[in-house]
A and B are shown apart, each in its own frame.
Chain A
Amino acid sequence: MKLSKEIVETLLVPGMVVFVACVFGVVGGAYWGVIDYLRNFGSSISLCPYFDHLQVAALPFRAHTAGSFLGAIEDLINCYNLAFPGATRFGSGLGLIGGAFWALRFARGRGLLCRCFAGVAGGVLIGARAALMLGSGAGVFLVGLVSGGLLTTLYMIFGAREEQIASWTLLELSQVPAAGQKL
């Protein structure tokens, strides 16, 4: 009974991390799209020159041959870029990263396997999307994906265990003398 519960948890929690991150990504994209519309309301030119580079090229860019491994990653990046054009791309990135971090809370204090899988799922999303903020190359994406997955998994294994030191909230307030009471 206990084993089956753990298996369900191990499958459910990483799935939930991915689902929540994706929902946050879509919502973040739409939110940033609205903000961009407000920011450029009634204007065809940028308000400030700093915002010019937020726009991405709408046409897919190909540096690797189609069908190769890096080419497939490039296809994935292009699909993402086409799904979230212009400013929505940045917003979806913020949402995806924020959502994945937030969703990792569900795995804290659970079993090792569950934390490990959740760390991989969340870390891959966080690392890959953070890498896309630095550059849109397939290599950068791959490095970000692997390092994000690795770091987050390590953190989830070693950093998100049950608290080793008792939390202050566990200390009963009644142990501290009432205000003004002399010992």
Chain B
Amino acid sequence: MSSSNGEPRCLRYQLNSNDRSMVGLALGSACTVSTLICLPDAVGIIPTVPDLLHWTVRLLGLWLSAFTLWSLSCLALLHLARFACGGIILYERGIKLWRFGKLIAWSDVSAAVVEKQPLFSFAFGLTSVARRLTLYEEKVANPAQSLGNWQRMMAASRLMPQSIPSFHFAEDEFRSLFAHICKMSFGFVPHSLDCCVFSPDAAAVLRATSKRASLMRVVLSLIIACGLVTFLGRRAAINYCYNAGSQYFTKMDYASAARQYRLATKIDPTFAQAWDQLARSELRQGDLGPAEQHWRRALQMKPDLVESKVGLSCLYIYRGDLQAARVLLAQCACLAPHNSAVYLTQAALYLKLGDYRQVHSLLAVVERESAANASALVAAARIYWQLKEYEQSYLLAGKALRLDPSCSDAVALLRLCKLSASIKRQDR
């Protein structure tokens, strides 16, 4: 390392990860990862889409969101790693692979192997074929240690592989690095980048170490592949069952919905939302016992699931355990201060307790905050009807019907209000 006039210019050089290479890796890996992530969703959204166009557009949206998130987070992690690790530092005596790494003396490098990684490059969409430079560092036994003959022989013959991937650096920089390592450790620069440079006496050990390393890589790849297939397949099945259940639930086919949700909970017993929806379907079928049990299960899995707490408090109100319902609803109000379902259930609770002032103030909040939510307005209208305030109930049901013309509950409530109002007039 000397300048053109032969004088030493700098004692050490640092090879940092290249910005453009990091962007390339982040974008390339984002393509693959977002496609893999979208596979379960591609199956999962099938029950929710009417045709191929909807499926394609939604899948495109999901893919784009996964792509953006992955590429940004990958880039952020790479920058963080570069900041923390520093670059490869080359000294006159040896090489440090990262800021806090041990210095590997040039004389300890027994072999330098560069291997092409076409599969990796293809999978991560890299523009040029990635390479892995493996430095085999000779581990010399400590003479102070009292080792047996065979132990000393084993220790003396151990080569420690240290990998340097090329995709962190610009191609010229990587080529230059390899040339420099060969020059300093072996005294020559090879013709080609794809080669294996080693001292003759290290050949046998290098062969064994290399075989062991490739076997480990194959095993690791198999484990990752199996894990991916299992994870993605499972996720796809769960999403499919959950969405199919939601479709049945919307069509008020609660028995079929419960079957799908049950299947989803069998595949993933920690899926709190599926337990919650299962309980909801069971409640609609009149199975109060299992519904309570499944809401409790959902809360075991996710203690802050407001929907389950609201459902359970509804059940308690129905059974007359008003104190338990009040406690649960107070927790819900803290967890979700803007949730209209919480206000409505609290209104139903105060209606049971006969505190009409509270009921009115809660319904006023629902009217104000959920003015665009048809189902919340219908629920509020139903409570007004129970209070025998038919005019207000009629008004809200009409508003809900304007928001959602297909709302059958609102139509039924409008008819009921008209009927009740006329009966009231007749009574007078």
Contacts and interface: CB of A to CB of B under 8 A. Distances in A.
Contact of B12 (A45, A94, A165, A181): A165
B157 interface: no
Nearest to B247: A45
Given A59-B338, A168-B173, A183-B188, A47 B15 contact: no
A182 interface: yes
B188 A182 contact: yes
A37 interface: yes
B263 interface: no
Interface residues of A, number: 42
Nearest to B65: A35
A172 B62 CA distance: 47
A173 interface: yes
B297 to A, nearest CB: 16
Interface string A45-62: 101110000000101010
Contact of A176 (B49, B64, B189): B189
Interface in B58-73: 58, 60-62, 64-65, 68-69, 72
Interface in A68-105: 94, 98, 101
B142 to A, nearest CB: 31
B13 A57 contact: no
Contacts of A94: 68-69, 72
Interface in A109-134: none
Given A47-B48, A180-B191, A173 B337 contact: no
A179 interface: yes
B41 interface: yes
B61 A35 contact: yes
B318 interface: no
Contacts of A167: 13-16
B205 to A, nearest CB: 26
Contacts of A173: 172, 176
A178 B76 CA distance: 37
A37 B68 CA distance: 15
A179 B61 contact: no
A43 interface: yes
B14 A168 contact: yes
B286 interface: no
A158 to B, nearest CB: 12
| Consensus secondary structure, chain B interface | helix
A176 B175 CA distance: 10
A39 B61 contact: yes
A176 B177 CA distance: 9
Interface in B174-198: 176-177, 179-180, 183, 187-192
A171 interface: yes
Interface in B349-387: 369
Contacts of A169: 173
A41 B183 contact: no
Interface stretch (B122-130, B222-230, B238-246, B323-331): B238-246
Nearest to B170: A169
A98 B176 contact: no
A61 B69 CA distance: 28
A47 B243 contact: yes
Contacts of B89: 165
Interface in A149-169: 159, 163, 165-169
Contacts of A165: 12-14, 89
B28 interface: no
A41 B58 contact: yes
A168 B16 contact: yes
Contacts of A177: 179, 183, 189
A178 B189 contact: yes
Nearest to B88: A168
A32 B69 CA distance: 11
25 contacts: A35-B61, A35-B68, A38-B58, A40-B58, A41-B54, A41-B61, A43-B48, A47-B45, A47-B58, A47-B62, A48-B239, A48-B242, A49-B273, A59-B369, A163-B14, A167-B16, A168-B14, A168-B173, A169-B173, A175-B1, A176-B183, A178-B189, A179-B189, A181-B188, A181-B189
Question: What 9 pairs between A and B have smallest CB-CB spacing?
Answer: A38-B61, A39-B61, A168-B15, A49-B273, A57-B338, A41-B57, A165-B14, A180-B191, A176-B179
